[in-house]
Amino acid sequence: ERLPELLRGMPKAELHIHIEGSLEPELIFALAQRNRVAIPYASVEELRSAYAFSNLQSFLDIYYAGASVLLTEQDFYDMAHAYLARAATDNVAHTEIFFDPQTHTARGVAIDTVINGLHRACVDAQKQWGLSAVLILCFLRHLSEEDAFATLEQALPLRDKFIGVGLDSSELGHPPEKFAKVFAKCRSLGLRLVAHAGEEGPPAYIWSALDVLKVERIDHGVQSVHDALLMQRLAQDRIPLTVCPLSNQKLRVFPDLADHNLGALLDAGLVATVNSDDPAYFGGYINENFTQTFAATGLTAQHAYQLAYNSFEGSFIEASQKRVFQ
């Protein structure tokens, strides 16, 4: 079978990866020891066995607990370096990495510690593997817009170390319009804009991410299939969707990978892409997302080329750079 080889070998961009979601249980334990942080699990195996989720919130609870071992700039560097090394072996040529500063500043970690550690790993990835890596700061939507503004203010002295902002965490009950003012401010600063929408939430959240927040890309967006007019809008405006199939399976957005609508999105002409979301928690990095999804749904080599092409089209790299890959 040649398709898995094609999927693994093709150059690709990853546009939806939460760096805290790349923290493997082994590294959680190593950092807990290094920093003398107590964690309520006796072993790596016991921690990994707790990774059984019923929805987004059940995952977020354990994901935030895992991030509590991160304290120093070196911790953030080590976490990002491990992800970037892994991405390089999956033939990722470019990656746009989400990070959640509020998860760390709430524990007393300075935002400079977070951003400087992650950024140094991105600089080194370019040197070591020729892998281009940039950062996108995500606001936690279960917190207030005031809190997001305070985070933006803390981050602005490091403005040259991240390219944009996103919106993540608990979707239901926290619609995009809750963050209208802070996204308008980010837009005026020339930051690139993305938001999670339509993972568990309704198509209305995708509409407001586009029309109120004015985002350039939708993270997940798989619920758009329930709204024909929205599908037309996404296709016409070539709004990329950063789809994460293994995440959707593990968080029960789809009962089974075979039920995933990635093929339907592509066949409707949408700029859908494949991404890993939180690979340490969902059982696979980007190539595993490609191979398992193709095996389960019967997508073809033509879909593979389209997805690789879409990943560069949907990225924030310069147009001149994109032509190198496309």
CB of 103 to Zn ion, least distance (A): 13
CB of 21 to ligand HPA, least distance (A): 5
Sole binder of ligand HPA in the list 161, 196, 217, 303 (CB under 6 A): 196
196 annotated to a ligand binding site: yes
**274 close to 262: Cβ distance less than 8 angstroms:** yes
Q: How many of the chain's residues bind ligand HPA (CB under 6 A)?
A: 11
C-alpha–C-alpha distance, residues 168 and 196, integer Å: 6
Residue 21: contacted member of ligand HPA, Zn ion, none (CB under 5 to 8 Å, by partner type): ligand HPA
CB of 176 to ligand HPA, least distance (A): 13
- Within residues 219-258, the interface with ligand HPA by CB under 6 A covers 247
Q: For residue 219, list its beta bridge partners.
A: 196, 242
Tell me whether residue 199 is one of the annotated catalytic residues.
Answer: yes
Please work out, in degrees rounded to the nearest 5, the angle formed at the alpha carbon of residue 214 by the alpha carbons of 213 and 217: 105
Two tokens, residue 194:
């993305």
- Which H or E run contains 242? strand 241-243
**246 close to 258: Cβ distance less than 8 angstroms:** no
**28 close to 62: Cβ distance less than 8 angstroms:** no
Regarding 199 and contact with ligand HPA (CB under 6 A), the answer is yes
> Nearer to ligand HPA by C-beta: 78 or 277?
277
In the block, residue with structure tokens 């059982």: 283
Residue 24: contacted member of ligand HPA, Zn ion, none (CB under 5 to 8 Å, by partner type): none
Q: What strand order describes the sheet that includes 241-243?
A: 12-18, 92-99, 132-140, 164-168, 192-197, 217-220, 241-243, 272-274
Q: Kind of pairing, strands 217-220 and 241-243?
A: parallel
> Nearer to ligand HPA by C-beta: 169 or 306?
169
> Nearer to Zn ion by C-beta: 120 or 252?
252
Q: Kind of pairing, strands 192-197 and 217-220?
A: parallel
C-alpha–C-alpha distance, residues 274 and 293, integer Å: 9
168 annotated to a ligand binding site: no
Regarding 96 and contact with ligand HPA (CB under 6 A), the answer is no
Sole binder of ligand HPA in the list 114, 168, 292, 303 (CB under 6 A): 168
In the block, residue with structure tokens 């607990």: 65
> Nearer to Zn ion by C-beta: 71 or 194?
194
Which of 73, 171, 199, 288 is an active site residue? 199
Stretch 20-39: interaction string toward ligand HPA, x if CB under 6 A: -x------------------
C-alpha–C-alpha distance, residues 28 and 66, integer Å: 7
C-alpha–C-alpha distance, residues 251 and 128, integer Å: 34
Regarding 56 and contact with ligand HPA (CB under 6 A), the answer is yes
Regarding 18 and contact with ligand HPA (CB under 6 A), the answer is yes
119 annotated to a ligand binding site: no
Q: Residue positions in the annotated binding site for substrate?
A: 278
Binding residues (CB under 6 A) for ligand HPA: these are: 18, 21, 56, 63, 168-169, 196, 199, 247, 277-278
For the annotated catalytic residues, the residue numbers are 199
